[in-house]
Amino acid sequence: MFRTVSRRISAAPRLLQAQRQPARSICNQSIRPSQPGYNNVKSLANPYLFHPRYLTYAQRLRMNYREASKGIFRKNPVMLPLAIISLIGGLCLFTYISYVELTQVAPQYHNFPQPVAESLRSAIYYTEIDLNPIKALNSYKEALRRALDLGMHPFSDEVMGIKLQVALMLEKAGLVKASIEVLERTRTETMKWVEEGRAAETAADKKDTKSPAPAKATPDNVQIKEGAIQEAEEELKKMQAFETRQRDKALKKVVGMEMKLAELYSSDHIQEDKKAEAAQVAAVELCLKEMHRRQKLGLPVGGGSGDANSDAWLNMTEIATALAELASTYTAKDRHELAMPLYLRALELLRVAEGNSPSCKQVTLLNDVASAMVGQVQLPTSPRAEKQAISREQTVEAARLWAQKSLDVAARIQPPVRDEECDITCVVATYNLGELAELQDKHDVAKQRYIEARSLASGMGYEDGVAMADAALKRFSKK
């Protein structure tokens, strides 16, 4: 037993020495298991030893990004935030431009062929962005030429819109006389086309009523399919309806051109009040003439030829606006006898259009009637006026009722329908009631109305109303 133990003890140092000796054979190295002391030794027999490892492009990019990002904020505490903000701002600006292009710019050219749209884009650029009348006018002319070459209707909404845009561009550039010439020429051409078209339509209707009955079909007659005849008739009706609708739209644009001409003639560049008044009169006469024609034919007074809700012709509110503007022109020139019928007719149309839901326009018209009556009373009496059946006192009382009616209607209007126009009209109507009370020798009532008008004007920041009421109160203090 002791011998066996002694042999094991004597053999242990030799075994340790043998394990520490290096291998002398390649074969021994190839089959030697891994030892804890040989972790750093690589086997020469492994075929994959010492082959380089290649990185992918994404891995190299990631490594470069990591190296570049180390301490970048610490090295650039100012430039890095500015760069990030600039990048985000650029993206937001690009998104906004794309949104505007898709929602606002592109729909404007949706009804135009591509060649016409290209010319219009250039024209709009030299009108809205970089104002250049010569380049813009050349682009508009090119757009009109292309539109006519492509077969667009010469009096369609698109072509008429291009012509009106030319006048607007010239006005914006300060060439008011050139703008007036364009509008005058466009108005004349449009009215000529409308009158010729309606004359031809009337002649065709008379011819149809007097045409004899069609001959009966005989074996010698040419046989035509009934379906082809019906298709041709339907196509002809569609064309006639389209032309009728285009004439209504063109006539509506003519009224707008007359109103614009009145504005340009009365501007500081021209200052020709007589021509401005003539243009307003022409617009009103055109509206009244068309209203009479529609009533005679059984068509709706406001709207299109076949649909009361159509926008082909002026609606009643727009017609009332044209009448009221001419009446305001007469009022400014102290021609109240001409303004009164226009105000009353405009008020009648507006009441029909609005029904039980009055707007601030109706409040303004009611007060305008009262103002015209007040102005008419304050004018020096003429021998012709003295012979009239209505006395001065009756006119003052009627004006008071109109002004009070204006306040009553305004009290029924609530937001969001009620706007600043109603508030200003209430101030003026209250002041008019003060003047009327003063004309009736009711000085206490007049002073109270002036104080009320000043309070209303001061509460809404209407400085002209405050000054007007202060002048009236100052006049009372001197008495």
Q: How many residues does the chain have?
A: 479
pLDDT of residue 161: 92
pLDDT of residue 30: 43
pLDDT for 207-231, tens place per residue?
Answer: 666 555 554 555 444 455 666 777 7
Q: Tell me which residues of the chain have a pLDDT lower than 50.
A: 1-2, 4-6, 8-9, 11-45, 48-50, 215, 219-222, 305-306, 308-309, 383-385
d(CA 281, CA 269): 21
Candidate CATH numbers 1.10.10, 2.30.30, 1.25.40, 1.10.1200; the one for domain 338-479: 1.25.40
pLDDT for 91-117, tens place per residue?
Answer: 898 888 777 666 665 566 667 888 998
Q: How high is the mean pLDDT of the chain?
A: 81
d(CA 303, CA 170): 31
Q: Give how far Cα 345 sits from Cα of 74, 122, 316, 351, 396, Å.
A: 78, 45, 11, 10, 21
pLDDT of residue 297: 85
pLDDT of residue 48: 47
Is 366 buried (19+), middle (13-18) or exposed (0-12) by CB count in 10 A?
A: buried
DSSP 8-state secondary structure symbol assigned to residue 98: H
pLDDT of residue 425: 92
d(CA 373, CA 371): 5
